[in-house]
Amino acid sequence: MNIASYIDHTILKPTTLPSDIEKLCGEAVRYGFAAVCVPPHYVSLAHKHTAGSAVATATVIGFPFGYSCIEAKVAEIRKAIADGALELDIVINLCAVKSGDWDYLSREITACLQPIRLNRGIVKVIIESGVLTDDEIIACCALYARHKVDFVKTSTGYSEQGASVHAVQLMRSHLPPEIQIKASGGIRTFAFAQELVDAGATRIGASASVTIAGGS
């Protein structure tokens, strides 16, 4: 298996520098990673450094806590698309999940999907599985399956727990086959990445991508 083709090579530190983005993109092109995932501030720079390659430009929306208002998320999405992002990783409103406000979450994803679909982009909803109960994960899968998102993603990497095999298996068993799973958060070795792929993940978000691609 070519693990590199599963990986979104990621840097999302608030102290990220332009030189970090240039290095990230160079590595992504060299190793054949699926995408680079960068802060919104650097989307246009990443798009420039990956131009002419098969590496997609991805960014995050509502990151990392997800509780920005719907209008703010839509504005972020429009700006990111204009700057060259093809893939949008959107943190859902976790306050709404915990309070059981599924109507709000439905309105949120409907609004976010409109500009993405208009521009033929890819949406990955981040549910932060490490802070959810199994029942909440299952309910998220049901909601986002109805809205036909492209991916459901485990984690931001900024919460108490990142990706887990259990969460990926649970998501895979409650999502239709056409909806993919991105596992992210705390993935630092090839062995763990392989476990997550075996559990059903089709994309891996990692900053240790070069190590993982090297089989370590």
Residue ranges and CATH numbers for the domains of the chain are 3-213 (3.20.20.70)
Q: What are phi and psi of 170, to 5 degrees?
A: -65, -45
pLDDT for the residue numbered 215: 87
* Distance between CA atoms of residues 25 and 27, nearest Å: 5
- The DSSP symbol for 70 reads H
13 flagged as catalytic: no
* Distance between CA atoms of residues 12 and 137, nearest Å: 24
Reply yes or no on whether the pLDDT at 1 is more than 80: no
Please identify which of the residues 8, 124, 150, 153 carries the catalytic annotation: 153
- The DSSP symbol for 49 reads H
Interval 97-109: pLDDT, tens = 999 999 999 999 9
Please identify which of the residues 8, 73, 124, 182 carries the catalytic annotation: 182
> Which distant-in-sequence residues (6+ apart) come within 8 Å of 10 by Cβ?
36, 37, 38, 157, 184, 205, 206, 207, 209
152 with 182: CB under 8 angstroms? yes
- The DSSP symbol for 31 reads H
Interval 138-189: pLDDT, tens = 999 999 999 999 999 999 999 889 999 999 999 999 999 999 999 999 999 9
153 flagged as catalytic: yes
**Long-range contacts at 132-138 (CB < 8 A, ≥ 24 apart):** 132/97, 134/170, 136/97, 136/98, 137/167, 137/170, 137/171, 137/174, 138/170, 138/174
* Distance between CA atoms of residues 115 and 123, nearest Å: 11
Q: Rounded to two decimals, what is the model's pTM?
A: 0.97
Please identify which of the residues 8, 83, 89, 150 carries the catalytic annotation: 89
Structure tokens at 4: 């590199």
Interval 74-93: pLDDT, tens = 999 999 999 999 999 999 99
182 flagged as catalytic: yes
> Which distant-in-sequence residues (6+ apart) come within 8 Å of 181 by Cβ?
151, 152, 153, 154, 168, 171, 172, 175, 200, 201, 202, 203
